[in-house]
Amino acid sequence: MRTSFRLTGKLNENKHLFTVEPLKGYERSQCTVHQLLSRPSPNLKTGVLSNRITSLFGTRFPLVQGGMIWNSGWRLASAVSEAGGLGIIGSGSMYPEVLLDHIRKCKTATDRPFAVNIPMLYPDVDKHIATVIEERIPIVFTSAGNPATWTRRLKDAGITVVHVTASVKFAKKAEDAGVDAVVAEGFEAGGHNGREETTTLVLVPMVCNAVNLPVIAAGGIATGRSMLAAFALGAEGVQMGSRFVASLESSSHMAFKQHVVQSQEGATFLTLKELAPVRMMRNAFFHELQEAYARCAPPEELKALLGRARAKRGMFEGDLEQGELEIGQVGAAIDEVLPAGIIVEQVMAEFDAARSEFAGMVFA
Domain membership of residue 256 (yes or no) is: no
Q: What is the CATH number of the domain that holds 151?
A: 3.20.20.70
Give residue 29's pLDDT: 42
H/E segment holding residue 116 = strand 114-119
Contact 279/270 with Cβ under 8 angstroms?
Answer: yes
**Higher pLDDT, residue 76 or 308:** 76
Domain membership of residue 143 (yes or no) is: yes
Quote the CA–CA distance of 354 and 46 in Å, as a whole number. 17
58 with 144, same domain? yes
Q: Report how far apart, in Å, the C-alpha atoms of 194 and of each of 17, 158, 168, 330 are.
A: 39, 29, 11, 17
Contact 204/258 with Cβ under 8 angstroms?
Answer: no
Task: Give me the percent of the chain exceeding a pLDDT of 70.
Answer: 87
188 with 239, same domain? yes
Q: Are strands 160-165 and 181-185 parallel, antiparallel or unpaired?
A: parallel
Quote the CA–CA distance of 165 and 163 in Å, as a whole number. 6
28 with 139, same domain? no
Domain membership of residue 259 (yes or no) is: no
Q: Tell me how far apart the terminal alpha carbons of the chain are, to the nearest angstrom.
A: 31
**Higher pLDDT, residue 41 or 335:** 335
125 with 153, same domain? yes
Residue 8 has pLDDT above 80, yes or no: no
Domain membership of residue 278 (yes or no) is: yes
313 with 341, same domain? no
197 with 174, same domain? yes
Domain membership of residue 257 (yes or no) is: no
Domain membership of residue 181 (yes or no) is: yes
Quote the CA–CA distance of 114 and 106 in Å, as a whole number. 8
pTM: 0.85
Domain membership of residue 99 (yes or no) is: yes
pLDDT one-digit tens code per residue, 182-213: 999 999 887 777 778 899 999 999 999 999 99
Domain membership of residue 364 (yes or no) is: no
pLDDT one-digit tens code per residue, 282-312: 989 889 888 888 888 888 878 787 776 888 8
Q: What is the mean pLDDT of the chain?
A: 85
241 with 271, same domain? no
16 with 95, same domain? no
Reduced to 3 DSSP states, what percent helix, strand and coil does the chain have, rounded to the nearest 5? 40, 20, 40
Q: Report how far apart, in Å, the C-alpha atoms of 287 and of each of 227, 268, 271, 317 are.
A: 34, 12, 11, 20
Quote the CA–CA distance of 183 and 141 in Å, as a whole number. 9
What's 246's DSSP letter?
A: T
> Model confidence at 117, in pLDDT bands (50, 70, 90)?
very high
Tally of domains within the chain: 3
Quote the CA–CA distance of 1 and 168 in Å, as a whole number. 36
187 with 295, same domain? no
194 with 106, same domain? yes
Residue 11 has pLDDT above 50, yes or no: no
65 with 173, same domain? yes
Contact 3/342 with Cβ under 8 angstroms?
Answer: yes
In which domain, by residue range, is 80 found? 52-251+333-359
247 with 213, same domain? yes
